[in-house]
Amino acid sequence: MILKPSELTSLSALAMGEDLQRLFPPGVVQILTGLGEEVGDALVRHPGIPRIAFIGSAAAGRRIQASAAAASVKTVTLELGGKRISRRSSPTPSSRASTSGSADGSVLKMAAGPCPAGLATGRIRPMREITVGVVAPAYVNVPLWVAQERGFLERRGLHAAERILGTTHGVTNALRDGEVDIALTAPEGSIADAVAGGPLRVVAGLIDRPPLSMIAIPRHRRFSDLRGGKIGTSSLTEGTRHVAERMLAAHGLTYPADYDFALEGSHVERWKALQAGTIDAALQMIPYDDIAADAGFTNLGPVTEEFALNAVCARFPAERAVLTAFLQALAEAAEWFRGNIGESATIAAARTSIEPRYALRACQALAADGVIPRDLRSGPGALAAAVGALRSSGLIPTEAPDPIAAAVDYSYL
């Protein structure tokens, strides 16, 4: 592994290198100093370097990403625009440098002022990289963002990178195929997979009361106006499709007799379709429901029933230590979120490029009682609603023995 520090922190990196020489065989870790536009750019473009990890400014990150893409196919991990991650402390033999990284060289974070909580000054701490599959940068994932930003994952030796897959069934497929390690998505796909004898399981619940509202184009003022229309959804087999179907049935509209579903993808794509007028309505996630209403679209009302909309899903057999650490970090983040709504909204606004006023409203809605289960265990009613939707749509057999017992394993919490 080659570490190229900022030209402004070369001495601290070299001092750290002296400690590394006592920990690793010669040549395992190399430190290369110099100007970023000269030495750094040469490293990024070098054909013999398949993986790059960078911590720094967004502007430098964009240049690195562009240079790497122009050179060849490389794996690039970027951590951009955050707080400085170094610690200044009293000079002791072991406090000259603070690092966190992986023993296999996948990531090395060099500290030079305040370190994230939990990192020990003067020690190399191995970091396990995991990939978390998500549909989109959705506010139901605020606990994950908090865990990343507040160091709850890092103090447990984890570095989690999100992979955005666009649809709920796309996330489920990626988890089944081993393309992601953990999924934050609708649980129906994992439940159906487990009932069929597959390896997917639900290991925690994240959303028991969906923070969604049915948004219609401006000319529709009532649910009855949706008769004969198209309802946008993120999947035809999971998630918003089932919630929308139940909500419309409560207002006298049945599928497929009274309307059709249009597969649009995430709430971001559904908002684009609403604006283009290619669908008549869609369930919209916070804060897109408020954004749509302010833009003149019709809010026909929020979802009020329990329904397990978002869960942590894993592929079994799972590595218990890693999965448990991830869930502990998520639980700590969810608790911190409830007591720090304003700070959480700031984190969310930065992740989604949403106006702070909308981000704050969204986080306030997410913090309401019953939305996020306090112990990350979905309530029986929320899970039963998801199972009922799977049965009514024929995705699991009506005679299947206890799908919840087959699919849900909370022993990792």
For residues 403 and 194, the answer to whether their CB atoms sit within 8 Å is yes
The candidate with the shortest Cα–Cα distance to 203, out of 219, 213, 190, 192, is 190
Asked whether residue 42 carries a pLDDT value surpassing 90, the answer given is no
pLDDT, mean of residues 340-344: 97
Q: Which residue has the higher pLDDT, 62 or 313?
A: 313
H helical segments located in 137-178: 142-149, 168-176
Asked whether residue 91 carries a pLDDT value surpassing 60, the answer given is no
How confident is the prediction for the chain on average, in pLDDT?
85
Q: SS3 of 182, please?
A: strand
Q: Which residues pair with 133 in a beta bridge?
A: 163, 183
Asked whether residue 288 carries a pLDDT value surpassing 60, the answer given is yes
Any idea what DSSP says for residue 323? H
Residue 200: the pLDDT is 98
Q: Is the dihedral of CA 119, 122, 126, 128 positive or negative?
A: positive
Comparing 59-73, 214-228, 260-274, 363-377, the range with the smallest average pLDDT is 59-73
Task: Report how far Cα 29 is from the mean position of its chain's Cα atoms.
Answer: 31
Tokens matching residue 275 = 């604006």
Residue 77: the pLDDT is 78
Q: Which residue has the higher pLDDT, 16 or 74?
A: 16
Residue 73: the pLDDT is 66
Residue 132: the pLDDT is 97
Comparing 79-83, 246-250, 274-278, the range with the smallest average pLDDT is 79-83
pLDDT, mean of residues 88-103: 40
Q: Which residue has the higher pLDDT, 59 or 108?
A: 59
Band of pLDDT at residue 3, cut at 50, 70 and 90? confident
pLDDT, mean of residues 19-35: 76
Asked whether residue 188 carries a pLDDT value surpassing 90, the answer given is yes
Total residue count of the chain as it appears in this document: 413
Residue 7: the pLDDT is 73
**Phi and psi (nearest 5°) for 117?**
-55, 135
Q: What's the CA gap between 272 and 267, in Å, rounded?
A: 9
Residue 78: the pLDDT is 77
Structural domains of the chain in order of their starting residue, each with its CATH number: 2-126 (3.40.605.10), 168-209+308-407 (3.40.190.10), 212-302 (3.40.190.10)
